[in-house]
DNA sequence: TAGAGCCTAGACAACGTTGTCAGTCTCGGT
DNA sequence: ACCGAGACTGACAACGTTGTCTAGGCTCTA
């Protein structure tokens, strides 16, 4: 009892079930039974084993367990940037679902780099995660084919998979953008700018498509110079915005293609004298406290994550199913900036 | 070449090195050598093996590898809430450092629940992560002793470990809060409120201590009703703020103990007629765009994460060292809300 | 041409766990 | 006293990989 644990291990080595068994004077398998709460162990034996576990500070090695059992009880999440506030709620939602299914979450940021995405995904597969939730950076996911065939459940979120048949959970980017632009039109705007993310990115293209749809449905022409797709770096957005706002036919309203663009545009408009209307895709914290408060097309990031993760575990729980495309609605939240009338 | 892969595996099973070896007509170990880029393989043999790998869609099973090698090349990060914008840059920074060291990041949210923290940490240990970065929720980490002894490098961030000797990386919470409150005092305030997080949380207590220090250094009394520690839920903060602002001796300025409190307070002050000065601990996006822009004590979350992760890998790279406490400076960013004069 | 030395390759054990199976012990019924 | 049933328990193989060790073939030199 007061006897201290003495081990013969090299430093850094951890006690194994074998060590526990030796100390408790029982067989290896009995320790395994105790550790896993399997039946068929006398209370007395169990107590001895528990004491040995306690004394040695034993902790089951899940790597070995995984090797034996085949399942890792962990899922991987690959997204663009952990630090982006849009992905916070999403990953949290995925984590909650994973937790509810007793799984851990391993995640990484692709930094919007397809090679890095692939590297990460394959590293996760090598770890034998049971499933993957991927917000794709690249547009060709054929490299995943062997993994899918091998049974790694995979769900894509926010953007569809490229050249491969897989589940995907999306927001209605087209419809959301169309609604947002239509909202500006309804408030009298005729010249509306669009500043979006890189054309490589599916959401950017879809939202641009929504913009064009709204304009054309209203019979409004679109001047090439009103549209700008590219990096969301503040400098790039600033340049684009300044061009759009100062050309021969300056716009009276801007539709911002995502939260980062919106924030930069807000900064720019704050320094401007004439009011320019603004609707942004993605809601963001404090949007309601700005003056004017920012009208947005909100998508429910947490719901995206939750839906994807649930779909994932649904697959893991057996139900083999054909790939499905789930699209979530967006919601227009009028707050002021999108209701400003045009100022010529 | 055009021959399709035919396998005898049960569905869901993945090819192993043995399968690859059989197909390539070589020994198991040769496959291992090719997969790991070890020398001593003829170009011709290597090609045959590569073809077999390709054809079968083989991917090394890292679980087995880990079991054999002892290191998992992964580290765990336990924080309070992935969705909290404060932790985004922090986890991203940890991830970057991990990546630079070829390690993956496994993370989870403790939801500020000590039991859940322990559960998570131990699950990570069972996975045999090489190291841990922990933002503690609890205040007793003796449960980690066997792990530390077994060589799991551990660094605590943002708050110190409880009842255990371990590395910790902190912001200067005391100094930062003192500076912030002193700033308000310098602008003429005498009655200053403090709304902070739960007293269980180290940072909350330290910041409160800073508040008291600044007040006492200025020879100002502190009325009990001016101070409120508790949950950061908006309703709680709102109640606290309303009490502080409406008592017999209403405050003319508020020091908000963290970003969530600050945001809620901003909302409340926006509905108020009389101007109330505000300094918040933690910077947040768009703080500069609010009117008035919000003066904050900024801590560098990314730097916290980076420092902690680097310390972790430093330990993993051999250097056994005594536990160290690293404290990072905070920075006062005056933006307007903290420079408002008192309005009686 | 024989022997040394090098390069390539494979057999085998080990990592720590779990599933299978067989052995021992106890107890109750006859 | 004996047998069968049932409850405990442990020996052993297997999971897929890597480290060690040895074998075989080749080249090079004396």
- Domains along the sequence of chain A with CATH: 17-60 (1.10.260.40), 73-170+302-328 (3.40.50.2300), 173-300 (3.40.50.2300)
Under a CB-based contact definition with an 8 Å cutoff, are residues A99 and A90 in contact? no
**What is the bridge-based pairing of β-strands A167-171 and A153-157?**
parallel
- The C-alpha of A275 sits at a distance from chain B's nearest C-alpha, in angstroms, of 16
How far, in Å, CA of B312 to CA of B156, rounded?
10
Per-residue pLDDT at B227: 97
Over 60: is that where the pLDDT of B1 sits?
Answer: no
Exposure string (b/e) for B95-120, b if CB count within 10 Å is 16 or more? Answer: bbbbbebebbbbbbbbbbebebbbeb
The confidence band for A318, taking pLDDT boundaries of 50, 70 and 90, is confident
Q: Is residue A156 predicted with pLDDT exceeding 90?
A: yes
Residues present in chain A in total: 344
pLDDT above 80 (res A7): no
Chain B: nearest CA to A80, how far in angstroms? 11
Specify which of B8-12, B186-190, B247-251 reaches the highest per-range mean pLDDT.
B186-190
A122 touches strand D (CB under 7 A): no
Assess whether pLDDT exceeds 50 at residue B101.
yes
Question: Can you tell me the mean pLDDT for A25-44?
Answer: 95
Q: Whole-angstrom Cα distance, residue A169 to residue A311? A: 9
Quick one: what percent of chain B has pLDDT higher than 70? Answer: 96
* H or E element that contains B255: strand B253-256
How many Å does it take to go from CA A26 to C1' C24?
A: 14
User: How far apart are the two ends of chain A, measured CA to CA in Å?
Assistant: 86
Q: Could you read off the pLDDT of A186-236 as tens digits, one per residue?
A: 999 999 999 999 999 999 999 999 999 999 999 999 999 999 999 999 999
Looking at residue A12, its pLDDT comes to 57
**pLDDT > 90? residue A280:** yes
Protein CA A60 to sugar C1' C27 (Å): 36
Of the residues B15, B118, B146, the best mutation for testing chain A's interface (the one with the most A CB atoms within 10 Å of its CB) is B146
The alpha-carbon gap from A290 to the nearest alpha carbon of chain B, in Å, equals 6
Separation CA B241–CA B267 (nearest Å): 11
- Measured between beta carbons, which residues in chain B are less than 8 angstroms from residue A296? none
Question: B91 with A77: CB under 8 angstroms?
Answer: no
In A224-244, which positions are buried (b, 16+ CB within 10 angstroms) versus exposed (e)? eebbbbbebeeebbeebbeeb
Task: Give pLDDT, residue A128.
Answer: 92
Whether B62 and chain A come into contact, CB under 8 Å, resolves to yes
Classify A271 in phi/psi space as left (phi over 0), alpha (psi -120 to 50) or beta: alpha
Write the DSSP symbol of residue A167: E
Q: Which residues does chain A have within 8 Å of residue B284's beta carbon, measured at their own beta carbons?
A: 285-286
CA distances from B288 to B211, B261, B283, B335, B338 (A): 24, 17, 10, 7, 12
In the 256-295 segment of chain B, residues within 7 Å (Cβ) of strand D are none
Phi, psi of A187 (to 5 degrees): -95, 15
pLDDT at A11 over 90: no
Contact check, Cβ <8 Å, A285/B286: yes
CA A132 to CA A115: how far, in whole Å?
17
Tens digits of residue pLDDT in B200-246: 999 999 999 999 999 999 999 999 999 999 999 999 999 999 999 99
Is the pLDDT at B69 greater than 90, yes or no? yes
Please state, in angstroms and rounded to a whole number, the distance separating the CA atoms of residues B91 and B309: 10
Tell me the CA–C1' distance in angstroms for A318 and D27. 59
Interface of A with B in 147-176 (CB under 8 A): 147, 149-151
State the Cα–Cα distance between residues B106 and A311, nearest whole angstrom: 21
Q: Considering chain A, what is the average pLDDT of its residues?
A: 93
For the stretch A162-190, pLDDT in tens is 999 999 999 999 999 999 999 999 999 99
pLDDT at B125 over 60: yes
* A104 φ/ψ angles, rounded to the nearest 5 degrees: -95, 160
Encode pLDDT of A138-154 as tens digits.
999 999 999 998 889 99
B62: number of Cβ within 10 Å: 22
Residue nearest to nucleotide C18 (CA to C1'): A68
Question: How far in angstroms lies nucleotide C11's C1' from the CA of residue B28?
Answer: 10
Nucleotide nearest to A15 (CA to C1'): C16
Supply the pLDDT for residue B12: 56
Tokens describing residue A177: 């953008």
| Nearest residue on chain A to B266, alpha-carbon basis | A289
Q: What is the pLDDT of residue B247?
A: 81
Residue B318 pLDDT greater than 50, yes or no: yes
Question: Does residue A344 register a pLDDT over 70?
Answer: no
- DSSP characters over A265-276: HHHHHHT-SS--
Asked whether the predicted pLDDT for residue B6 surpasses 60, the reply is: no
What is the rounded CA–CA span in Å between residue A194 and residue A256? 6
Contact flag, residue B18 CB and nucleic strand D, below 7 A: yes
Give the separation between CA B312 and CA B320, rounded to whole angstroms: 11
A42-61 residues touching B, CB cutoff 8 A: 56-61
Nucleotides of C under 7 A from a protein CB: 7-12, 14-20
Mean pLDDT of B37-50: 95
Residue A105: strand, helix, or coil: strand
Round to whole Å and give the CA distance between B157 and B159: 5
Within 8 A by CB and 6+ apart from B221, the residues are: B215
Identify the residue whose tokens are 């609010």. Answer: B290
**Cα maximum dimension of chain A:** 89
Query: Is A71 near chain B, with CB under 8 Å?
Result: no
Size (chain B), residues: 344
**For chain A, how many helices (H) and strands (E)?**
12, 12
User: Nearest chain B Cα to A61, which residue?
Assistant: B126
Give the CA-to-C1' distance from A101 to C22 in angstroms: 36
**To the nearest whole angstrom, how far is the Cα of A180 from the nearest Cα of chain B?**
23
CB pairs under 8 A between A and B: 157
State percent of chain B over pLDDT 90.
89
């Amino acid at each position: 009892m007061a006897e201290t644990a003495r081990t013969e291990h090299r430093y850094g080595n951890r006690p194994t079930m074998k060590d526990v068994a030796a100390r408790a004077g029982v067989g290896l398998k009995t320790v395994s039974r105790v550790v896993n709460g399997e039946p068929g162990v006398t209370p007395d034996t169990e107590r001895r084993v528990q004491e040995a576990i306690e004394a040695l500070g034993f902790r089951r090695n899940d790597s070995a367990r995984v090797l034996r059992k085949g399942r890792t009880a962990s899922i991987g999440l690959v997204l663009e940037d952990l630090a982006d506030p849009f992905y916070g709620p999403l990953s949290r939602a995925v984590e909650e679902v994973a937790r509810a299914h007793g799984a851990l979450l391993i995640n990484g940021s692709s930094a919007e780099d397809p090679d890095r995405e692939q590297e990460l995904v394959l590293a996760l597969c090598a770890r034998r995660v049971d499933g993957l939730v991927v917000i794709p950076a690249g547009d060709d996911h054929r490299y995943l084919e062997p993994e899918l065939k091998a049974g790694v459940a995979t769900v894509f979120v926010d953007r569809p998979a490229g050249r491969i048949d897989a589940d995907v959970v999306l927001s209605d980017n087209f419809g959301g953008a169309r609604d947002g632009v239509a909202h500006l039109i309804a408030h009298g705007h005729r010249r509306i700018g669009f500043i979006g993310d890189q054309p490589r990115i599916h959401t950017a293209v879809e939202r641009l498509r929504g913009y064009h749809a709204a304009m054309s449905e209203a019979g409004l022409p679109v001047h090439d110079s009103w549209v700008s797709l590219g990096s969301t770096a503040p400098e790039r957005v600033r340049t684009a915005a300044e061009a759009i706002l100062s050309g021969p036919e300056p716009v009276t309203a801007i539709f911002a293609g995502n939260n980062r663009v919106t924030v930069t545009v807000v900064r720019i408009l704050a320094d401007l004298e004439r009011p320019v209307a603004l609707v942004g895709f993605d809601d963001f914290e404090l949007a309601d406290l700005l003056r004017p408060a920012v009208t947005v097309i909100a998508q429910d990031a947490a719901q995206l994550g939750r839906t994807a993760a649930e779909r994932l575990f649904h697959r893991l729980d057996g139900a083999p199913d054909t790939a499905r495309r789930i699209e979530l609605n967006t919601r227009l939240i009028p707050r002021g900036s999108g209701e400003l009338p045009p100022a010529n």
